[in-house]
Amino acid sequence: MTYISTGTTYRVFDESLKTYDTLPVGTYRVSFSDMSGFFLTKIEDIGPGTEKVYGNHNERIDRILRSYNSFTRSLGVLLSGDKGMGKSLMVRLIAERVRNELEMPVILVDKDYDGISRFLDSLDEAFIIFDEFEKVFPAGREENRQNQFLGLFDGISTTKRIYMVTVNSLNNLSDYFVNRPGRFHYHIRFDYPNAASIREYLTDQVPNISTKNLDDAVLLSHSVNLNYDHLRALAFELSLGSDFRDIIGDLNIKRVEELRYLVQATFTNGDVITSIE
């Protein structure tokens, strides 16, 4: 048996107990119990797998890792954009490289607990991920749960870390985070794929896709904001031999935002009336 003391309290553990000077490289989730307080649970490593990377993700990750190695303090990275835009893929890519190249553990924060900021600041060098930050830590009128991290993200701790925060809506993010490079040195915005990216993706996923189906997909993107989740569903149907116009009405890809029009009337006397409908 092994006996471990904390102050005047002694606890007994069996032979499965192991002790480490530093947290082993791996992926962990922050957990909490009323009996034992905060602890880390080891989970399966996150990574991109075999998914092809579109865009300049790798260039951005090179820049982030290069900056972190040059920094004398923690580095904050903010990823923003609508769902299905590639933020999660970016997180998985950098998590894999941090483990392999920097030999740092990856820690996932996906629940809010009182005192969690102090716990995170007690950890050694690590890559700490806050996914969908504004949902896990809402910025309500009565209580702003995001402000508890202001000191942590300031990077004044004696221990360097990488903090990566993903958000879907900047409107739900504290004003103390946006345009504050002292807290988040990088703010990477994920936009909807353009026509060239749509053609590249569908051609990769459906090698025998017809020019007509490609053109129809690009045409749809002019009226509906297509993200990579949409393109994945389209590619699946088209790979089965379906025609774009036969299946698009049944897919869960619809324009739901309200349409607004700017109407301007110019009269012969020079008067101009403008209205938004």
Residues 190-249: pLDDT tens digits? 989 999 999 999 999 999 999 999 999 999 999 888 998 999 999 999 999 999 999 999
Confidence at residue 275, expressed as pLDDT on a 0 to 100 scale: 59
Q: What is the pLDDT of residue 36?
A: 83
pLDDT in tens, 45-92: 999 877 777 778 889 999 999 999 999 999 999 999 988 888 999 999
Q: Which residue has the higher pLDDT, 11 or 197?
A: 197
Output the six-digit token pair for 136.
């896990």
- 261 pLDDT band (50/70/90 cuts)? low
pLDDT in tens, 239-254: 999 999 999 999 999 8
Q: What is the pLDDT of residues 148-161, one digit of tens each?
A: 999 999 877 889 99
Confidence of residue 6 (pLDDT cuts 50, 70, 90): confident
Confidence at 127, pLDDT banded by 50, 70, 90: very high
Given the DSSP bridges, would you call strands 75-80 and 27-33 parallel, antiparallel or unpaired? Answer: unpaired
Q: What is the pLDDT of residue 85?
A: 87
